[in-house]
Structure 1
Amino acid sequence: MTQSSSNKVAFFSSKSFDKQVFAQFEQTKPVIVSHIESRLEQTTVALAAGFDTVCVFVNDDVNTQVVEQLAELGVKHVALRCAGYNNVDITTCHKLGISVSHVPVYSPYSVAEHALSLILTLNRRTHKAYNRVKEGNFELQGLLGFTLHNKTIGVIGTGHIGSAFINIVEGFGCKILAYDPTPNPLIKSKVEYVDLQYLLTHSDIISLHCPLTQDNSHMINVNAIQQMKDGVMIINTSRGGLIDTSALIKGLKTQKIGYVGLDVYEMESELFFRDRSYEVIQDDLFQRLSTFHNVLITGHQGFFTQEALNEIATTTINNICGVTEGQTNHDNFL
């Protein structure tokens, strides 16, 4: 292949693991990838000059102004290497002739298993037990948990990841309530579909597995939390904006909420995927949230398995090549 016939791709928010997993395609596919560590936003969009495609991740900000500048620079394709697309102004992209693709399915069990790991860690306090034993402290006081068997788990969102999560927790003997505007026929026999209010009221554990939209932003708010059981556990491995962080903190302070497990945070774009250990974190809400002993936060690593990375890379490259070949009429394109 010649360089002129290749699709030039600006790979924003690039990490070492991105370079490794995408390198396998650079000799076999008509793409020339340039890795850029900075995230795509208004201050960095000029770096996309001379590229046909920008490849972006969950915290890149492809808002209206960025899209307009991308169009002026001649970019024809925004390729998301993730499932969610709430960070892209798709309407403006279409208006300006920029195609948008994503990775709708990639190893859903990766995220589902991470959600379960948050539940088990919070419940049995294995992170605290680990630290105690390292220090020679074998005291059990403060480590009391509960059995998952016969507990009620409410699952909000029953797409690929939500369904994978349901398949896992079914094996624990849990009762599963589900809420989704579009019920999944593949798991109807395993769950009881209910309205959102019923799920909030009757669940011991609530796990979020839905995309972020304008309609469900802050769906976990003061009113929703007031309806929940005392001591409820809330797990979010989807998108941070689904939860009102201020309301979450209030629920923790009043002990209405007993446990919180987060792999996402609504203002994570300023924090996650970078080493902040030598900095003073300026986000007061995040700092307050992280002080609670019953809150466990991970840095958006639910997707981070070898299987998921391979699937993301394969689908993303195929999407990029699909634009070159005129094959954009399928579910990967928005």
Structure 2
Amino acid sequence: MNKAVRILNLEPLHYSANAQAVLETLGDVTNGPLSRNELLEKIGVFDVLVTRLGHQIDKEALNAANSLKVIVSATTGLNHIDMEVAQDKKITILSLQGEREFLDSIHATAEHSFALIFSLYRKIPSAHQSVMNGHWDRDSFIGNELQGKKLGIIGLGRLGTKVANFAKAFDITVYAYDTNPAVSMDGIENTSSLNEIADLCDIITIHIPSSKENKNFIASDFFNRMKRNAILINTSRGDVVDQVALLSSLKDKKIAAAALDVLEEEYNGNLGTSPLIEYARNHENLIITPHIGGATYESMHKTELFMAQKLQRFFLSQA
């Protein structure tokens, strides 16, 4: 393979050794990490950029990338990349989008959805903190069981389907809404409207992609219809939920609780001023994790190797 190809691996921490070996057969590999300023200074000489979610590959970065031909992102979502600028510059984007057969072997985010459900239902974070503060107070942390509850899944794609299958093991009644009416699966109740999910369900999980159409897909009208004892789980992307409406609903006790693995601010650098993070500091009915849904060694190493091999196939197709 052409050793003149210059590859920048932006986030090598915990990166798959097997994937790294594949990259090294393709060209000269430079490993990060890089600061934002270092990225802008150095990106111009590289042909290939390998990234996760730790950097915004925005207009400024892409305009500095004078030699860049390929971006490799081991993600399904691509809102960390300015796709319009990349297209204008004729940069090829290789990602996990559309790789359904491979992605069926990746379980991390669906499992994390249930971790968040358990964290809320069994009050695990606050119970742990109480013990760390020197208390042993069982009665303050009485929770809820999953058995017999109604779970509403918004988006019955790969992740929604996995969550539905997990739910069946807990004897949960599963309802699902998808904008594509042809999408269905055995053993669940398909609903004809989003409102039915809000009206019926005790637990609601979101599994839809970020897009212009899906921005604020879950907004105040939905929260106003939810049961007061219902909880919301979002492991998809932050901008699919109207965060102002969510915060208001939590403050006004229109819903019981929420757990988020994603925030809209994670892509604009304003996490330090996030009203949701500020609220969560002092309220137990909001749990936030730093987009770790897909962050398991198993899933990351599988996807990194898959993407390195996808880059390898891309180069072979260009030969």
When the two structures are superposed, what TM-score results if normalisation uses the length of structure 1?
A: 0.84
- CA drift at 1:68: 4.2
Q: Distance in 2 between matches of 1:246 and 1:39?
A: 31
Decide which of 77, 82, 85 is 1:89's aligned counterpart.
82
Does residue 1:293 correspond to 2:284, yes or no? yes
Q: Give the corresponding residue for 1:188.
A: 185
Q: Distance in 2 between matches of 1:59 and 1:134?
A: 31
Q: Give the corresponding residue for 1:275.
A: none
- CA drift at 1:252: 0.8
Q: Give the corresponding residue for 1:320.
A: 311
Matches within 5 A, 1:1-334: 3-4=3-4, 7-12=5-10, 14-18=11-15, 20=17, 22-27=19-24, 29-38=25-34, 44-70=39-65, 73-104=66-97, 105-106=102-103, 107-182=105-180, 188-194=185-191, 195-269=193-267, 270=269, 281-326=272-317
Q: Give the corresponding residue for 1:278.
A: none
Change (3 A) 1:323 1:45: farther
| Deviations 1:112-164 (CA, angstroms, capped at 9, x unpaired) | 11110110111111222233334552222331212211111111112211111
Change (3 A) 1:290 1:156: farther
- CA drift at 1:10: 1.6
- CA drift at 1:75: 0.9
Aligned structure 1 segments of 4 or more residues deviating by more than 4 angstroms: none
As a proportion of its length, which structure holds more helix?
A: 2
SS in 1 for 2:279: helix
- CA drift at 1:110: 0.8
Question: Identity rate of aligned residues, in percent?
Answer: 23
Q: Distance in 2 between matches of 1:322 and 1:314?
A: 12
Q: Which moved more, 1:146-155 or 1:98-107?
A: 98-107
SS in 1 for 2:33: coil
- CA drift at 1:301: 1.2
Change (3 A) 1:23 1:79: closer
Q: Distance in 2 between matches of 1:259 and 1:179?
A: 21
SS in 2 for 1:219: coil
Change (3 A) 1:318 1:109: same
- CA drift at 1:23: 3.1
| Deviations 1:299-318 (CA, angstroms, capped at 9, x unpaired) | 11111112201211112212
Aligned length: 312
Q: Which runs of 5+ in 1 are unaligned?
A: 273-280, 329-334
Q: Which runs of 5+ in 2 are unaligned?
A: none
* C-alpha RMSD of matched pairs (Å): 2.6
Change (3 A) 1:271 1:37: farther
Change (3 A) 1:285 1:110: closer
When the two structures are superposed, what TM-score results if normalisation uses the length of structure 2?
A: 0.87
Q: Distance in 2 between matches of 1:129 and 1:34?
A: 44
Change (3 A) 1:249 1:171: same
SS in 2 for 1:115: helix
